[in-house]
Each structure stands twice: as structure tokens, then as C-alpha cells.
Amino acid sequence: MEHASAPILVAIALFSSLILWNIFTARRGKAGFIRRIPGLNEIDEAIGRATEMGRPMVFHPGVGEVQNVGTLAALGVLGHVARKAAQMGTRVIVTTAIPVVVPVAEDIVKQAYMQAGRPELFNSEDIRFLAASGDQLALATANVMEREKTAAHFFFGMYDYTSLLLTEPGQRTGAIQIAGTDQYFQVPFFIASCDYTVIGEELYAASAYLTREPTMLGSLIGQDYSKIIVLAVILLGALSVTFLGSQNPIVQILGATR
Amino acid sequence: MTKRRFIALVTFLAGLYYFLEFVVPPTVPWRTLRGEVVSVSDTTLTLLVDGAERQVTLLPNLIAYRERPNGAPERVEIQQLRPGDRASVGPSTYLSDYITSVNNFFIVLGSMAWGMGLISLAMVHSGNIRRRRPEWYGSVLFFIAVAGGMVAGLGYGRESGWLKEANDVVFNYLLRPMSSTVFSLLAFHMATASYRAFRIKSGEAALMMASAFVVMLGQIPIGMWLTHGLPSFLQLPVMAQWVLYIANSAAVRGMWFGMMVGAIAVGLRFWLSLERGAFFDREL
Amino acid sequence: MAEWLSKLQTIDRRWIYLSIWIACALPFVVNIKLPVYVSPETRRLYDFIEQCPPDKVVMVDSAWDAGSQGENWGQVEVVFEHLFRKRIPFIVTAVEVTPLGPQFADKVIEKLVREKFPDRKYGVDWVNLGYTKGGWQAMQQIAKDIRQQYRKDSRGYSLDDAEKLPLMQRVRNIEDIYLIYSVTYSPLEDWIPFVHGMYGTPIAFGCAGIQSTTYYRYLLSRQLVGMLVGVRGAAEYDALLHPDLRDRNSMGTKLIVPQAFGHLVIIVAVVLGNVGYFAARRRRS
């Protein structure tokens, strides 16, 4: 069970090659279409609003460890927010309860300000490790929102029950709030308390959507092909079990009998 | 540039180990015997393979997997095999032997990051004190709390003594009840968030509210009381069950498939350093 | 009238806070018990435990603490009561999630022994093995050989001490375990592939209401034999244990009342908000 079985091996090889193939195809200049994701469209709007008001913004990259896929995707979004913020000369405050996120976020934000030619605007104190647990971090972040009178809040990454503890106090400050999580059961809380919500895998697509980088777009197209295969296999499995019984050869090939 | 290449190389090598550990079989496939155990001694193992008895000399690099009745392989010591068991025995590919050490290495690295976290906190709070920012005295309290917490932490696992008392006070009597209190704030936030957000502005919003009402009422006794006279499929608890079992499960499964494929893509991009923006200002 | 009604969409949040507080606190002042509908996931767990053969034990992975005791306390309390009543021996563990899990389980068991089952003995009817780290590796180690993962129980007795822990003398590995019931805010899904998938041992979960939505698919696929969902699940299980409403006094039965009132307040608030919204719209048009 700890090692890949034959069907898993085939699936990994197939999905990985599809994704990589599409990445390299896209890099050769074949652009793909990506549907509109309203939550991500509004990020630039929110940064613009904060700039107009002359107030800082808060970026919260979730409560997952740095190797968590949701956190990695969130750091991609942070890269975009920091670049835009640097271009417009607006401060972005990052709060986290995960110590490893601090140097990574610091690197991302610093690089964004340097790229925009405004290194003097970068302040390492704006990347804040505020507490060691999610609930304390939520209270501390709410405090930052109140005190710094922030105008835009971004919540991207993996979230637990603390999501509402962040977004409700944030909502009271009148700031525009945009959230995105791959945690299914936190989505309702974000929908109820944020202006825009990015749901599930849309979070993973966020970097691609925001940067329009060929690598990212190619990766997204590869994912879509992979999902079509998953759906086809499900359909095949369901039909075969319905018409041929649960011990049919297709089910055995798929390794679903045990 | 050298730094970036170095990071990309280390990322690739670390990822490669985990990838290989997962995909490479634990025993060398062409030297692995699979069959029914006939006997086990200190030096040899006898297996019945395709009707013929095969003797295996027990060398230190041999590892065994016992097949569970459902076909799943279970790693066991060779001496734990019993006659009649179905097992595969072969020379180790060694990759899995180091998985615990590699995991521990990353745990240690992660623990070092806590020091960085503490430095980050100390920088913010010492800055507050130096510049006499509003409520700077809160930052003084932070340093006192860190010192107190560290001392109390020394009492962890002790049976008695003042350090144990300090540990109990800080962690059990202060921190935990406070965590529960913070958790309970959710009830209040949830009420105001739903009050503010649930407006029937569209057909979809109406559908969402209807399903929310069905599930909320179906979860509590009042739902049953309100509809107990109706045919069973119209009773709120039964309708709530349908929403949770069928509609909800379908949505969860769909989302999971998408997210897992997405996770493979994000993992690949990071592993091969194709991800732009996060660590590199251009692709390598 | 429409003007007055339109104000309903901007009620000060503090009134809503106060209503929630009263709704949740009132049942603690006035003793109320409410009948419940028993959901299929609760009934399946109850029926499964009812069929436990005499030579098997149940393992309760009680990995919760103060943070989620509102929901988890009731979920272990009713199952412990059922096991005590049927004289099914059980082992308590806490894998990975919180080291305080075993202490909280002890509190629940002590209360049950004191109030309802004074003749049940530690070491004979139950054993608390304590906390262990290690995630799925620990789960598999318990399955292969419980003594490789736990040498001593939470009280420091050796698992081979036949005098103090006679129950453990007949528990070696997963073959002796009839059911694993994992209770925490969000039970580890690793139980399903690494224990159920490999050894076929039935698994049941007790989880917070909010987390339950992701676990229903496992009930459909029969990878979970049953599940207690939040306070509701605990109250429903209590209803199966005690068909007469007056006999029910578990934490679940007590807490379903504030939960019911809390839900009602939210529903009323949402309805009022919408009345205000439509009144405002009518005024505008």
C-alpha cells in the first residue's frame, strides 16, 4: 500500500506526461483558453482600491505547512499581489502561523518590490509570524486589520475552522475581501463573509490565470485532459459493474477488486 | 543564478527520492519469489512456487511481504511468516529503508524554522518597543510571555514539582480554555455571516438557501417535529440526508478528483522548478 | 410599513450575538429534552456494535481535547456506554492528533463507571493505551503487532502484565479487533486506506458536524461502517440506547438543545434579513 500499484503507476505516468507535454507545447507558443474566474479578476481591483485609499493590504496564506499544495498555490497568488502592490506603491502585510512560510514569503515580496524598482518600499517587518496556532493567528490578524486600517484582505491557501475568525472581523473593517481555498468545508464560510471566493482547484489555477504564463496555462490544459481520462475511467467502471458484475475484467485491470 | 540553480537541484533531488521510493517496488522484481510458505528456519525459507518447493537462503538484504487475504501486501520480518501464509520474498531495493531517516531530516529542518519564527516575532515586537508604537507595552508583555512559556514548557512530562504546576497553569488552565473560547466565537460569527450573506438575489441563491434550511432543520429535532405528519420523503430529516449523502457526496468527489489532479500538476511544477514567481524571477 | 420592514436587513450584529447567546445558554438553565430522528449513519454504527462477537474487542481512537469536546465528548460517551452495557471490552488509543486525547477519554469513562457501571474494571473491561505519534505507520504497526507500538498502557503497566491487564493478553494484532472507532474534530482518513484497505477491519468515525460533509462518500462506498456527526450523532445514538426520552442524559442529548435553538436563531435572522431585503426592493420600485 505504501508503494505504487501497477494501475497507480500507469495513472501517474499518464497524468504527468499529459501535463508536461502541454506545458512544453504551450511554451512553444500555442496559447490556450482559460475561462473567467471572477474572484481572481477582482484581485487587481482590490489592490487598486487600497492604493486609492492609501491603506495597506493583508495577505494570509492559510494555515497549511509550506509543502502543502494549497499553500504553494497561495504563494503563487502572493507573488502576483506583491508585484501589483509594488507597481502601485502599496504595502502588503503577510501574516502566518507557519514559521517556514516567513522566509519564503519574504523572498517573494522582496523580489516583487525589487522587480518593480521600488526596493525601498519593502519592509521585512511586514512579513509577520504572529502566533504558533491558527486561532491565535486569526485574532492577531484581526488586530492588524483593525490597527492598520487595511483596505483589502486576501485569504488564499489551506484553511481550517479559523477561516471565519479571520473573515468576519475583516468584514467589519469594510475592506474588500477575496478568498480561495481547496478545503471544501471552509468554502461556505468564505462565501458568506467575503466579497469573492475562489473554490477548490480554481486556487491551483490561480497562478496561471493571474500571470498568463505559458507554463501555467499548459499545466492547466494538461490537468483538464487528465480529468477527462478520470471521468472516462469512472464511466467505464460504473458501466462495466452495472452490466458485467463486480468481478469483471475491466474492474480487475483497474485494480479496484480487493 | 548559482543560488537558484542550487535550489532547483536540491528540490529535484529531494523530490526524486520520494518519487522513486513510491514507484520503485520494495524488492527487486526479477529476483522476488512469490508463493506459499512451507517452512521457516533461522537460515532458510521454503516457499511453494507454482507447485515446486524453492529454498531461499536468508541473507540480510532479503525482505518479505505477507499477502493479506484481500491481496494487500504487508511488510513483515521473515521470521514472522507462518506455514500457509502467501508471501513475496526478495532482495531489498533499499530506497524504503531510509524513508524514516529522510522524514526525520525534514522534521528537524522544520523544527529549525520555529527559531526563525521566533526571530520574526522578536523583530516585530522589539521594533514596536523601540519606536514606542501605539500599545507598545503589549510587545513587552510578549517577551514576558515567551520567557514564561519557555519555563513552563520545561515542566512537560514531569510528575510533580513547581515546573509541572507552571506547565499545567499555562497550557491546561490558560491556553486550552482560551482556545475553546476562541472556537466558540464561531457560533456568533456564523450567525452574523449568514444573516448578512443569505439574500435571495437570484435563483441560485434561493436554491442555496433552501438547501441550507433543509440541512439545518433536518439536523435538529425541530425539523422532525415540523414535518413528522408528512410522507417520509417530505420529512426534513430525510430530505437533509438526501442532500448530505447524494448531492453533497457527488460535489465532494468531483472536487476531490479535480484537486488531486491539480495537486499532481502543482507538485510537478515545483519538483521540476517550472513554477515561476514563487522562488525564481524567471524559469530556469 | 415597508420602510420599517426594510430596516430588518441592517439589524445591529450585537442583537444577533445576544440572541445566539440566549438561545445557547437557556437550555443550560431550563432542563429540556428533545426527541431526535435517528439517521442511517448512526443506526449503522449502533447495529454494527450490537453484532460484535464475544471474542473480539473494539478499539476507540479517542484523539480529541478541549477544543472539540462539545461535539466529541458525547460521541465517545454513548459508544463507551454501549460497550459497557454489552460487556464488549475496548481499548482506547489516541493516534497523532492530540496527546490530551487519552486524558479526556479517561474522564468520560470515569464518569460512566461512577454513575452507571460501578462493577466494570480497568484492565478487564477496558484499557487506555495512551497517545502515540506516527500517523499511518503507527496505525499499521498497531495492526501488525500492538506491542511494537505500545509497550505500556497510559498507567505505565506493561502490556504483558497478565495480572493488571488481563484484557491485553488476548489482544495481539488487528485480527483481535472488531471495529476501530476514531473520534476527533476531523478523523484521519489514513485509517481507511492503511487499515481498512489493507486488513479489512471495519472503521467508524465520530467527527465535528462541519467536517462530516467530506466523509459521507465513505459511507456510500461502505468504507465506513457508520459515523456519528457532531452533537446530533451523539444525541441519536443516545436515543437508540435509551428509547425512553426520560432515561437519556448523555452530553449529546443535553447539547442538541442549544444547537437546535442556535440553528433556529440563525434561520429566523436569515428570514428577517430577506424580509428586509424584499421590503427595501419594493420601496425602491
**Could you read off the pLDDT of A197-208 as tens digits, one per residue?**
998 888 888 877
Residue A177 lies in a domain: yes
Closest CA to C45 of C227, C275, C189, C280: C227
Q: Are A129 and A33 in contact (CB under 8 A)?
A: no
If interface means Cβ-Cβ distance under 8 Å, which residues of chain B face chain C? 68-70, 72, 74, 76, 176-177, 179-180, 183, 187-188, 190-192, 194-196, 198-201, 209, 213, 216-225, 235, 237, 241, 244-245, 248-249, 252-253
Residue B113's H or E segment, with its range, is helix B99-130
Indicate if A174 and A192 belong to the same structural domain: yes
Indicate if A241 and A124 belong to the same structural domain: no
Residue C256 lies in a domain: no
Residue A73 lies in a domain: yes
Question: Which residue in C has a C-alpha nearest to residue B215's C-alpha?
Answer: C263
Residue C253 lies in a domain: no
DSSP letters spanning C193-245: IIIIHHH---EEEEE-GGGGGGTHHHHHTTSSSEEEEHHHHHHHHHHHH-SSG
Q: How far is CA B127 from the centre of its chain?
A: 36
Three-class SS string for C48-83? Answer: HHHCCCCCCEEEEEECCCHHHHHHHHHHHHHHHHHH
| 0.85 surpassed by complex ipTM | no
Inform me whether the pLDDT recorded for A135 exceeds 50.
yes
C-alpha cell at C160: 504483558
**Could you read off the pLDDT of B136-176 as tens digits, one per residue?**
898 999 899 999 989 988 887 677 889 889 988 888 788 87
Give B180's pLDDT tier (boundaries 50, 70, 90).
Answer: confident
CB contact residues (below 8 A), chain C span 108-127, against chain B = none
* Mean pLDDT of the B35-44 span: 91
Helix (H, G, I), strand (E, B) or coil at C19: helix
Indicate if A56 and A18 belong to the same structural domain: no
Question: Which residue in C has a C-alpha nearest to residue A2's C-alpha?
Answer: C194
Residue A170 lies in a domain: yes
Q: Are C244 and C216 in contact (CB under 8 A)?
A: no
**Could you read off the pLDDT of C244-265 as tens digits, one per residue?**
999 999 999 999 999 999 999 9
Indicate if C21 and C40 belong to the same structural domain: no
Residue C126 lies in a domain: yes
Distance from CA of B268 to the nearest CA of C (A): 24
DSSP state of A156: E
B157 — alpha (psi -120 to 50), left (phi > 0) or beta?
left
Indicate if A183 and A68 belong to the same structural domain: yes
Instruction: Give the per-residue pLDDT at C120.
Output: 96
DSSP state of B276: -
Indicate if A158 and A227 belong to the same structural domain: no
* Mean pLDDT of the A79-106 span: 91
Residue B65's H or E segment, with its range, is strand B62-67
Q: Is B196 on the interface with A (CB under 8 A)?
A: yes
Query: Residue C127 pairs with which residues in a beta bridge?
Result: C91
β pairing state of C126-132 and C90-95: parallel
| Closest in A20, A147, A161 to B186, CB measured | A161
Residue C255 lies in a domain: no
Indicate if C269 and C242 belong to the same structural domain: no
**Could you read off the pLDDT of B69-95 as tens digits, one per residue?**
777 788 888 988 999 999 999 999 888
- On chain B, the residues whose CB falls within 8 A of the CB of A108 are 277-279
Indicate if C23 and C40 belong to the same structural domain: no
Residue B38: CB atoms within 10 Å: 14
Q: Are B46 and B63 in contact (CB under 8 A)?
A: no
Inform me whether the pLDDT recorded for B252 exceeds 70.
yes
Percent pLDDT > 70 in chain A is: 97
d(Cα C226, Cα C230) in Å, to the nearest integer?
13
- Domain of C17 in residue numbering reads as 2-28+262-284
Question: What is the reported pTM?
Answer: 0.82
Inform me whether the pLDDT recorded for A60 exceeds 60.
yes
Indicate if A53 and A170 belong to the same structural domain: yes
* Mean pLDDT of the B188-213 span: 88
Residue C254 lies in a domain: no
d(Cα A24, Cα C195) in Å, to the nearest integer?
40
| Closest in B198, B213, B219 to C273, CB measured | B198
Instruction: Give the per-residue pLDDT at A258.
Output: 46
Give B1's pLDDT tier (boundaries 50, 70, 90).
Answer: low
Q: Taking the CA atoms of chain B, what radius of gyration do you get in angstroms?
A: 30
Side chain identity at B188, as an amino acid letter? Answer: F
Side chain identity at B173, as an amino acid letter? Answer: Y
CB contact under 8 A, B193 and A167: yes
Residue C268 lies in a domain: yes
Indicate if A62 and A143 belong to the same structural domain: yes
Residue C232 lies in a domain: yes
Q: What long-range pairs does C146-153 form, CB within 8 A, spacing at least 24?
A: C146/C171, C146/C172, C146/C173, C147/C172, C150/C93, C153/C127, C153/C128, C153/C129
Indicate if C11 and C131 belong to the same structural domain: no
Distance from CA of A116 to the nearest CA of C (A): 42
Domains in chain A: how many in total? 2
Side chain identity at B278, as an amino acid letter? Answer: A
Residue C155 lies in a domain: yes
Question: Which residue in B has a C-alpha nearest to residue C230's C-alpha?
Answer: B219
* Mean pLDDT of the A8-25 span: 91
Distance from CA of A144 to the nearest CA of C (A): 21
Q: Are C36 and C236 in contact (CB under 8 A)?
A: yes
d(Cα A94, Cα A61) in Å, to the nearest integer?
8
Indicate if C221 and C97 belong to the same structural domain: yes
Indicate if A119 and A18 belong to the same structural domain: no
d(Cα B187, Cα C104) in Å, to the nearest integer?
23
Inform me whether the pLDDT recorded for A226 exceeds 90.
yes
C-alpha cell at C174: 488487528
Distance from CA of C213 to the nearest CA of A (A): 7
Give B276's pLDDT tier (boundaries 50, 70, 90).
Answer: low
Nearby residues of B145 by Cβ (< 8 Å), 6 or more positions away: none
Q: Are C35 and C244 in contact (CB under 8 A)?
A: no
Q: Which CATH number does the domain housing residue C206 bear?
A: 3.40.50
Indicate if C78 and C119 belong to the same structural domain: yes
Q: How far is CA A131 from the centre of its chain?
A: 22
For C37, list phi and psi in degrees, rounded to 5: -90, 130
Instruction: Give the per-residue pLDDT at C30.
Output: 85
Closest CA to A153 of A183, A178, A116, A127: A178
Cα pseudo-dihedral A178, A184, A185, A186, rounded to 10: -20
- On chain A, the residues whose CB falls within 8 A of the CB of B70 are 258
* Mean pLDDT of the B218-227 span: 88
Indicate if A146 and A18 belong to the same structural domain: no
CB contact under 8 A, B257 and A227: yes
Closest CA to B206 of B215, B218, B198, B214: B198
d(Cα B110, Cα B59) in Å, to the nearest integer?
37
Instruction: Give the per-residue pLDDT at B279.
Output: 45
Give C20's pLDDT tier (boundaries 50, 70, 90).
Answer: very high
Indicate if C12 and C56 belong to the same structural domain: no
Place of cell 503589549: B138
d(Cα A78, Cα B140) in Å, to the nearest integer?
31
Indicate if A127 and A43 belong to the same structural domain: yes
Inter-helix orientation angle B249-271/A202-211, to 10°: 50
Inter-helix orientation angle A69-88/B249-271, to 10°: 70
- Domain of A234 in residue numbering reads as 6-32+215-254
- On chain B, the residues whose CB falls within 8 A of the CB of C259 are 219-220
Helix (H, G, I), strand (E, B) or coil at C5: helix
Inform me whether the pLDDT recorded for C151 exceeds 80.
yes
How wide is the angle at C-alpha C214 spanned by C-alphas C208 and C216, nearest 5°? 90
Indicate if A18 and A44 belong to the same structural domain: no
Q: Which CATH number does the domain housing residue A100 bear?
A: 3.40.50
Q: How far is CA A33 from the centre of its chain?
A: 20
Domains in chain C: how many in total? 2
Nearby residues of C235 by Cβ (< 8 Å), 6 or more positions away: C36, C74, C248, C250, C252, C253, C255, C256
Indicate if C51 and C140 belong to the same structural domain: yes
